[in-house]
Amino acid sequence: MEQRRTPGIKGNPKLDETTGVFKAPEGFWVRCPQCHAILQQSFVKLHHQVCAECTHHFRMSSHERIALVCDEGSFREFDADLEAVDFLGFFDSKAYVDRLSSSQKKTRMRDAFVSGEAKISGRAVQVGAFEFSFMGGSMGTIVGEKISRLFERSLEKKQPAIIFQASGGARMQEGLSSLMQMAKTLGVLSKLNAAGVPYVSVLTDPTTGGVAASFALLGDVNVAEPNALVGFAGPRVIAQTINETLPQDFQRSEFLLSHGMIDKIVPRSELRDYLGRILGLLC
């Protein structure tokens, strides 16, 4: 007898001949890390990767983030051909070239940052987003170069800059060259600031290390998603260093807001409209 296709499932469910129960394909279900609810992956994706039970914000890809806030069909990518080079011949438990190759196959991207020009509520912007699934969104020479170019285009065209942050920090496989990207990006950002061109930083989970210590928290407006981890060193490292118990919500968006480090927490479902209003006020 022909099996009926189940809505929302790629392919047909498989019958377990031992139990007589149909099994959903791998990846059909996802567990919420906050409330532990078992959710249908396609339903979560339909609702912008947000848990329907507790509103936990799952991580999103860089292209999903851009599609979420930009006017449909308006995004035009720049610098897509830039690709990292293993100039140090770095090797830890795995060669850097192999790590790059693996991440490129996994994400279908050349590095951990995508940028380009788009429109939000009809207003032209320069927009970029980190890809955390590419080596933890780490910032190496190419990521730093693409961010610098984004700020330069923003300055040249007098268009607001918007960056979605999601990074573990500097990329250790590129040594001091990766750390130099902090100064490099800030140098261009200072010119943007002097010219009065707006820069909006959207902090997502996680935003840490050299990215958090440089341009991520220097927006004219800094907004964050709910419960996003934002800080330089991780809370466990800090707790061990100072030998003290940290507050339960330490380095989370809500903690940063209460201490004046960010301007607003914006749920993902409201982000497009919020950015449109902010751009209307700043431009």
Kindly state whether residues 243 and 184 are assigned to the same domain.
Answer: yes
Question: Within a domain: residue 5?
Answer: no
Kindly state whether residues 129 and 264 are assigned to the same domain.
Answer: yes
Predicted confidence at residue 235, as pLDDT, reads: 84
Predicted confidence at residue 22, as pLDDT, reads: 52
Residue 18 confidence class, pLDDT cut points 50, 70, 90: low
Question: Average of pLDDT values for 7-35?
Answer: 66
Kindly state whether residues 40 and 131 are assigned to the same domain.
Answer: no
Kindly state whether residues 74 and 134 are assigned to the same domain.
Answer: yes
Q: Which domain covers residue 23, as residue numbers?
A: 12-58
Predicted confidence at residue 137, as pLDDT, reads: 98
Predicted confidence at residue 9, as pLDDT, reads: 41
Kindly state whether residues 90 and 32 are assigned to the same domain.
Answer: no
Question: Within a domain: residue 226?
Answer: yes
**Whole-angstrom Cα distance, residue 84 to residue 134?**
12
Kindly state whether residues 166 and 34 are assigned to the same domain.
Answer: no
Task: Please state the domain count of the chain.
Answer: 2
Per the CB < 8 A criterion, the answer to whether 150 and 115 are in contact is: yes
Predicted confidence at residue 2, as pLDDT, reads: 42
Residue 237 confidence class, pLDDT cut points 50, 70, 90: confident
Residue 257 confidence class, pLDDT cut points 50, 70, 90: very high
Question: Within a domain: residue 253?
Answer: yes
Kindly state whether residues 37 and 176 are assigned to the same domain.
Answer: no
Question: Within a domain: residue 270?
Answer: yes
The answer to which of 12-26, 114-128, 256-270 has the lowest mean pLDDT is 12-26
Q: What is the pLDDT of residues 160-208, one digit of tens each?
A: 999 999 999 999 999 999 999 999 999 999 999 999 999 999 999 999 9
Kindly state whether residues 188 and 241 are assigned to the same domain.
Answer: yes
Torsion on CA atoms 198, 157, 185, 183, rounded to nearest 10: -90
Question: Within a domain: residue 275?
Answer: yes
Half-sphere exposure of 245 (CA within 13 A, CB side): 1
Question: Within a domain: residue 37?
Answer: yes
CA separation, residue 240 to residues 84, 209, 243, 256, 259 (Å): 34, 17, 5, 21, 22
Cross-strand pairs, 160? none
Which residue type occupies 272?
R
